[in-house]
Amino acid sequence: MRALVTGGAGFIGSHLVDALVARGDEVRVLDDFFTGSRANLNPAAEVYEGSVADEELARRACEGCEVVFHLAAHKAVLRSVEHPLPTDLANTHGTLTVLEAARARGVRRVVYASSSSVYGGTAPVPTREDAPTVPRSPYAVSKLAGEHYCRVYHELYGLETVSLRYFNVYGPRQRPDGAYAAVVPLFLRALLDGDRPVVHGDGHQARDFTYVTDVVDANLRAASAPASRCAGRVYNVARGVETSVLELLAAAARVAGVEAEPEFAPARAGDVRRSRGDAGAAARDLDVRCEIDLETGLARTLDALRRHG
């Protein structure tokens, strides 16, 4: 089939592009390279450079595509707190623009990258999809707005939409640089460089770390599962295991074969205490199982960091 991956030059999107190309699909990428990188781009992909909020470009990119995987977004929570307007334009307006282009061009299904941040940290753990959503940053608001747009486009226009709430994705190509980097690449980079990894707060805050190829697999399954089961719905994509930041650091140090002496820094405002997804609905309706355990995922990520920097 022909598929469009928005954000296909980014961390998760580029792995998805590789998987689609590997199985013989014809792949387009729509990306403005805000955080994405040309080095991530699969050479077999056809590139449409520009913003998902550009109506004309989005329509052209959707032309003749059966499925759109919509991953393009400004995804750093802290950046959204500092710069809410560009986040809203890329995420909320960008998602609406992609849905409208998909509708206009007769796309069958849109698989949307949402986020566990929509829960806001108050829901019972493990968290099911029907838990209350209390977004606590402009980023989380934008992701939740995108989910509602997806549902409404299914209900009003019959576009098959499936929203996936990713939980803390990690893996090769996740950037360890920049003020908004995620904890796994930051820890691995520090350990490789012989620096002390910085732990915000007491380190007992816990996350549900989900390896990138499991998220790619979830996207592929969400694109092909029967519409009667999943269209217009939302699913957690989570391994379903809680790991504290200190446990993560210990595992990373084991994998790297070094000692880790953390440096503690003040807790970050709005940091959620616990996060763990109930992955039952995705297993039932989409046959998704996130099976890569933390040490295996960390070893693969470390290997890629050593090879490619």
Ligand X SMILES: NC(=O)c1ccc[n+]([C@@H]2O[C@H](COP(=O)([O-])OP(=O)(O)OC[C@H]3O[C@@H](n4cnc5c(N)ncnc54)[C@H](O)[C@@H]3O)[C@@H](O)[C@H]2O)c1
Q: How far apart are CA 140 and CA 114, in angstroms?
A: 9
- Does residue 48 touch ligand X according to CB under 6 A? no
- Determine the interface stretch with ligand X among 11-19, 148-156, 190-198, 256-264 (rule: CB under 6 A): 11-19
DSSP annotation of 17 reads: H
- Does residue 260 touch ligand X according to CB under 6 A? no
Rounded CA Rg of the chain:
18
Q: How far apart are CA 245 and CA 62, in angstroms?
A: 40
Q: How far apart are CA 104 and CA 174, in angstroms?
A: 33
3-state secondary structure of 265: strand
- Return the residue of 35, 133, 161, 243 that touches ligand X, per CB under 6 A: 35
Contact predicate 171/213, CB 8 Å:
yes
- Does residue 74 touch ligand X according to CB under 6 A? yes
Q: How many residues bind ligand X (CB under 6 A)?
A: 29
Rank residues 47 and 71 by Cβ distance to ligand X and give the closer one: 71
- Determine the interface stretch with ligand X among 30-38, 99-107, 256-264, 272-280 (rule: CB under 6 A): 30-38
Residue 139: active-site member: yes
- Does residue 31 touch ligand X according to CB under 6 A? yes
Sign of CA dihedral 220, 226, 229, 232: positive
- Does residue 52 touch ligand X according to CB under 6 A? yes
3-state secondary structure of 43: coil
Choose the catalytic residue: 112, 119, 139, 211: 139
- Return the residue of 4, 27, 36, 150 that touches ligand X, per CB under 6 A: 36
- Does residue 298 touch ligand X according to CB under 6 A? no
Angle subtended at Cα 95 by Cα 92 and Cα 97, rounded to the nearest 5 degrees: 110
- Determine the interface stretch with ligand X among 16-24, 27-35, 153-161, 279-287 (rule: CB under 6 A): 27-35
Sign of CA dihedral 23, 24, 28, 33: positive
- Does residue 51 touch ligand X according to CB under 6 A? yes
Residues that bind ligand X in the complex, under the rule CB under 6 A = 6-7, 9-13, 30-36, 51-53, 71-75, 90, 94, 113, 115, 166, 168-169
Instruction: List active site positions.
Output: 139
